[in-house]
Amino acid sequence: MENTRIAKTKNALFNSLHHLLMEKDIREITIIGLCKDAGINKSTFYLHYKDIYECVDDFFGQLVTPIVDIICENGIINSIKDLPEIWNKVLDLLNSYDNLYDPLFHSPSLSPFLYKVRNEIIETLMKRYTVFGLNDEQLMEARISVTFFVNGFLGIIDLTGRTTLSVNNMQSFAKKLQKGFIDNNLFKEDLNMWAEESVFYQIYPLGFCGAPFENDGVLTSRILKVNDWIPHIRNLGFNAIYFSPIFESDTHGYNTRDYKKIDCRLGTNADFKEVCNNLHNAGIKIVLDGVFNHVGRGFFAFQDVLQYREGSRYKDWFARIDFGGNSCYNDGLWYEGWEGNYDLVKLNLRNEEVIAYLFDSIKFWVDEFDIDGLRLDVAYCLDRDFLKRLRGFCNGLKADFWLCGELLHGDYNQWVNDDMLHSCTNYECYKGMFSSFNSMNMFEIVHSLLRQFGPENWTLYKGKHLLSFVDNHDVSRIASTLNNENHLPLIYALSFGMPGIPCVYYGSEWGAKAHKSEGDPALRACFDAPIDNDLSALIGKLANAHKNSKAICYGDFKSVVLTNHQCVFERNCDGERVFVAINASGDSYTAHFDAGAATGTDLITGDIVSFEGGLNLPGYSAKYIKM
């Protein structure tokens, strides 16, 4: 038991924390400021806590315990069935507990505060559940249920901001969320993010639609062209589309001028809304490019800085502006551009007004276009606290809102985790795939896949679903990269069969060519109409095989046969086994291994495959053999 003096000191610290959180960002609170407000010296503080984080954690433990008690009293098994009732109890608690929870509604930096509350509630609940003797699977189900419950409750607080919540409003929202959970089977054993069973089609709209490179200010409804391609997209089995930048920009889309207005070269918001409605009616999810690291020089806030300099109210919206320097545009000031590109003005993602502006834009995209996710441009450059707040905010908009980051090198786990992104671009395997075929060395890609998803416990990304691709709007078309055109069908078979979410870049499904050395516009070409050929037909079969196989979508990865020219690997999930076999040589090859059965079915062709005498692979062939 704490003595009276210790309790009095801690009470003073907690009261001061409560007071400061009504005025400051949680990240700005220091030991000096806390002690000054509490009327104690630092020596007294250090008698009880080793640092500010320990004190804050103790305070939040006191804050969340009554909330956790309510959830535990009801039981996590019934948390969805009794969602409105539980939320009402928690809301009554917030309204009657001696103003303890005032920072939930009045903190000047609401989202960081809610993020901390969220983590404390989830971790405290999970600590309690570990004493119930649950196995690993039950604990995972409990964590999923708890996370959705807490994110939903705190998400509505974040959305309503500082207005007073009424029981009726909370109950109404709880019933809607409850219905969505039940209707979509979100809490059954097969809980999965929709993207994990999707095959993506990427469109770079400005190029796809043949828009001029420079923004000429002329309104032209080019984006409606997508409507004409929907039958092609759906016929090839794509059930998700990723649009590269679509909002008003200076030139190429990544130098944004206005986050709430479709680029005039593409059309109007009403035009794009029509496209989105048609895509959704065709069963196709929609992911937009979220360009949050930087804006264009034509962005309204930067134009204000150029005009009013130190007097601009937006000067803190941008990273490292130096009014004593100069830029290559001779602005009479220096600013940070993305990787030295000064048409891309870096945003300050620690500025609350910037964050509020971007989050409001995302909410607008969901409300106006009903988008299903975001691909985050240069995610490796984004502030990680911003990414955490973004994840929490988007969870509040849609429980299954998908976030995928553009990552190149390094440990993807630093960004792809429960607090930040669901997925990222798998550039390691992008390089490994084409390099393996061009060097006729399948060891390279298989060793990368073993490093990422192999059977050992140490492998990096087991259980994660990264975005797999063989080309995109930033790199050479795969038909121009491969040395041997016979490898073109095989690299797609590899991409669709390995762990990951496949994504095909428009035009590449029929073998369009363009090399990076020709410039970005060549990579982002305009095609009058889609072309159907043998390659596109194969990709359609691969897409359907991928979507309809639990083993391919979720299975583990095990290398079975590996030579310089051939590879066979097994995907296994809940008893469904699929062997993915690739022969990159022009000569036939017989692979010998224990398949555990005499025959299987090729998911690509539907043919029965015999293993008698080994697996025969004709030259330049691929098979997905379901056992």
> Which sign, positive or negative, has the C-alpha torsion 222, 226, 229, 233?
positive
Q: Tokens 């496209």 belong to which residue?
A: 275
- The DSSP H or E segment spanning 331 is none
Instruction: Name the band, by pLDDT with cuts 50, 70 and 90, for residue 441.
Output: very high
Mean pLDDT, residues 138-149 = 66
Q: What dihedral do alpha carbons 58, 62, 64, 67 form, nearest 10°?
A: 160
Average pLDDT, the chain: 87
Does residue 323 surpass a pLDDT of 80?
Answer: yes
Pairing status of strand 294-296 against strand 341-346: antiparallel
- Between 182-196, 479-493, 540-554, the lowest mean confidence (pLDDT) is in 182-196
The CATH number of the domain covering residues in 4-183? 1.10.357.10
Between 205 and 36, the higher pLDDT residue: 205
Instruction: Name the band, by pLDDT with cuts 50, 70 and 90, for residue 59.
Output: confident
CB 349 within 8 A of CB 386: yes
Instruction: Name the band, by pLDDT with cuts 50, 70 and 90, for residue 68.
Output: confident
| Residue 468 dihedral angles phi and psi, to the nearest 5° | -95, 135
pLDDT value of residue 124: 76
Helices (H), 486-533: 488-497, 520-523
pLDDT value of residue 108: 64
- Sheet of 467-469: strands edge to edge? 423-424, 402-405, 373-376, 285-290, 240-243, 200-203, 501-505, 467-469
Mean pLDDT comparison of 30-34, 117-121, 170-174, 220-224, highest-scoring range = 220-224
Residue 235 has which token pair?
């016929």
Global pTM reads: 0.73
Does residue 1 surpass a pLDDT of 50?
Answer: no
Which one, of 517, 547, 541, 520, lies nearest residue 622 by Cα? 541
Instruction: Name the band, by pLDDT with cuts 50, 70 and 90, for residue 10.
Output: confident
- pLDDT of 570-625, one tens digit each? 999 988 999 999 999 999 999 999 999 999 999 999 999 999 999 999 999 999 99
Q: How many CA atoms lie within 13 A of 338 on its CB side?
A: 21
DSSP 3-state of 296 = strand
Residues 148 and 130: their CA atoms lie apart, in Å, by 19
Mean pLDDT, residues 478-498 = 98
Residues 243 and 240: their CA atoms lie apart, in Å, by 10
CB 380 within 8 A of CB 292: no
In 10 A of CB 413, how many CB atoms? Answer: 12
Fold of 556-626: Immunoglobulin-like (2.60.40)
- pLDDT of 525-565, one tens digit each? 999 999 999 999 999 999 999 999 999 999 999 999 999 99
Pairing status of strand 337-338 against strand 341-346: antiparallel
CB 461 within 8 A of CB 443: no
Residues 337 and 343: their CA atoms lie apart, in Å, by 7
Topology alike, domains 4-183 and 556-626? no
Residues 554 and 463: their CA atoms lie apart, in Å, by 8
List 203's β-bridge partners, or say none.
243
Pairing status of strand 200-203 against strand 240-243: parallel
Which one, of 555, 551, 554, 556, lies nearest residue 450 by Cα? 556
DSSP 3-state of 499 = coil
Q: Where are the domains of the chain?
A: 4-183, 556-626
Residues 153 and 174: their CA atoms lie apart, in Å, by 8
Burial class (CB in 10 A: 0-12, 13-18, 19+), 600: buried
Residues 529 and 508: their CA atoms lie apart, in Å, by 13
| Residue 372 dihedral angles phi and psi, to the nearest 5° | -110, -5
Non-local (6+) Cβ contacts of 472 within 8 A are 202, 503, 505
Calculate the alpha carbon distances from 328 to 141, 251, 252, 336 in Å. Answer: 55, 18, 19, 12
